[in-house]
Amino acid sequence: MKKPQPTSVVTGAAGFLGSHLTDLLLARGYKVIGIDNFVTGTVDNISHLGGHPRFKFIQQDVSEFIFLNEPVDYVWHFASPASPVDYLELPIQTLKVGSLGTHKALGLARHKQARFLLASTSEIYGDPLVHPQTEDYWGNVNPIGPRGCYDEAKRFAEAMTMAYHREHKVETRIVRIFNTYGPRMRLHDGRVVPSFISQALKHKPVTVFGKGRQTRSFCYVSDLIEGIYRLMMSRYGSPMNIGNPSEMTVLEFAREIIRATNSRSRIIFKPLPQDDPRQRRPDITRARKILRWDPKVRLTEGLARTVEYFRGKV
Ligand code: UDP
C-alpha cells in the first residue's frame, strides 16, 4: 500500500516566509494546510496554489482555537508580524500571536502528536553584546521599548515551546531567523530591503537610518527555507541560528542596492529608530555541523532576483 503523504500545518502561510515554505513542502510531496488571517500576509503570495490538490487554506487568527479534523505530522509556526514598522503598529496582536498563537499551535501539535517548529528570531538577542551571536547567548532586550512587543513575544514563544517539550514531550524545534530577503516581501513593510529597492527603482532618495554604521547580514529566502526544512527533519531540539553570516553596514547595503538597480538615487540620513540593534551576524557553526547547511546564494544574485520581483510592483 502507498504510504499516505505527511501533512504539514503552516501558520502564517500567506506571509513572506510561510508562503515560500509552503511551496517547498508541496514540491517535496507534503499535504499542506495553510492558516493565515491576512493581517500582514497577502492572498497574492498563495494565489498560485489555488486548486492545488494537496493544499488547503484556512483563514483564521491562530490566537484562537485551531480545529482540524485530519491527522497532522508537522506544525510550522510562522504566524507573526515581523517588520519593525508592523509590530510598532500592531503591538498587541504581535504579543498575542507570539504568546496565545504559539500556545494554540503547540496545543495542536500535542493533540496530533505532530512535530512542532517555532519560527523565532535574532531579535531575541536584542541589541547584542556578543558578536557574532551564538545560540547560547541570552540576549540584551529592552522589554518596554518599541521592539519589546516582538522580542518578548518570541522569547515567551521559545519558553512555551521548551515547556511543551519538557512537560508534554512534544518534539520541538526552534529556529532563530536572521534578516532574510527575497520575492514576496511587502513593498511597504518598512524593512530595509523593500524600502531601499523601491526608493532606488523610483530614483528617490534612499533613507539610511542613523549614520548607517549598524550592521546586518542578509540571507536569501531559498537558503533560509532549506535550512529550516533540514532543522525540522533533524533530531536537534535546541535553538538553531539560520542566516547568512556575511555582514555589512546599512550604508554599504544602501550602496549595494543603488548598484543593483542602476539607480540615480542619492543617500539621505534619517534618525535612527529607538533600540535599533547596532550589530547583527549569526554564528552558524551549529547549522553547518548538525544540518550540513550553508547559505549558497550570493548577495548580488539574490538581490537581482529580488529587484526583478519589485520592478513589477513599484
Ligand atoms: N533601515 C534604514 N532605512 C530604512 C529602513 C531600515 O536604514 O528605510 C535600517 C534599520 O534602522 C536597521 C536596518 O536597516 O538598522 C534593518 O532594518 P529592518 O527594518 O529591515 O530590520 P531589523 O534588522 O532592524 O529587524
Give the cell for residue 119.
Answer: 519560527
pLDDT of residue 2: 59
Q: Where are the beta strands (DSSP E) in 108-250?
A: 115-121, 172-177, 180-181, 206-209, 215-217, 219-220, 240-242, 247-249
User: E strands along 72-203, which residues?
Assistant: 74-77, 115-121, 172-177, 180-181
Q: What is the pLDDT of residue 1?
A: 57
Q: Are 12 and 66 in contact (CB under 8 A)?
A: no
Annotated catalytic residue, options 30, 74, 87, 150? 150
Strands (DSSP E) contained in 199-272 are 206-209, 215-217, 219-220, 240-242, 247-249, 267-270
Task: Indicate the Cα dihedral angle 154, 160, 163, 168, nearest 10°.
Answer: -130
Tell me which residue has its CA closest to atom 5 in ligand 1: 192
In order of their start, the domains of the chain are 7-181+221-244+282-296 (3.40.50.720)
Ligand 1 mean position to 60 CA, how many Å?
30
Our answer on whether the CB atom of 154 is closer than 6 Å to any ligand 1 atom is: no
Atom of ligand 1 nearest to the CA of 84: 19
Q: Which of 40, 82, 16, 84 is nearest to 277 (CA)?
A: 84
Predicted TM-score of the model (pTM) = 0.97
Ligand 1 geometric centre to CA of 193 (Å) = 8
Pairing type for strands 55-59 and 215-217 reads unpaired
Residue having the nearest C-alpha atom to atom 14 of ligand 1:
192
Q: 150 an active-site residue?
A: yes
- Rounded Cα distance between 233 and 219, Å, is 21
Is residue 266 packed enough to be buried (19+ CB in 10 Å), middle (13-18) or exposed (0-12)? Answer: exposed
Residue 97 is given by DSSP the state I
Predicted pLDDT of residue 4? 76
Ligand 1 contacts CB of residue 216 (under 6 A): yes
HEC string for 282-314? ECCHHHHHHHCCCCCCCHHHHHHHHHHHHHCCC
The pLDDT value recorded for residue 3 is 67
Q: Cβ(214) to ligand 1 under 6 A?
A: yes
SS3 (DSSP) at 113: coil
Regarding the beta carbon of 84 and ligand 1, being less than 6 Å apart is answered yes
Distance between CA atoms of residues 298 and 218, nearest Å? 10
Per-residue pLDDT of the chain (314 residues; tens, 9 = 90+): 556 799 999 999 999 999 999 999 999 999 999 999 999 999 999 999 999 999 999 999 999 999 999 999 999 999 999 999 999 999 999 999 999 999 999 999 999 999 999 999 999 999 999 999 999 999 999 999 999 999 999 999 999 999 999 999 999 999 999 999 999 999 999 999 999 999 999 999 999 999 999 999 999 999 999 999 999 999 999 999 999 999 999 999 999 999 999 999 999 999 999 999 999 999 999 999 999 999 999 999 999 999 999 998 99
191 CB near ligand 1 (under 6 Å): yes
| 105 Cβ inside 6 Å of ligand 1 | no
**Does any ligand 1 atom lie closer than 6 A to the CB of residue 208?**
yes
Residue 79, pLDDT score:
98
Q: Which atom of ligand 1 is nearest to the CA of 272?
A: 11
- Expressed in angstroms and rounded, the spacing between residue 274 Cα and the centre of ligand 1 is 11
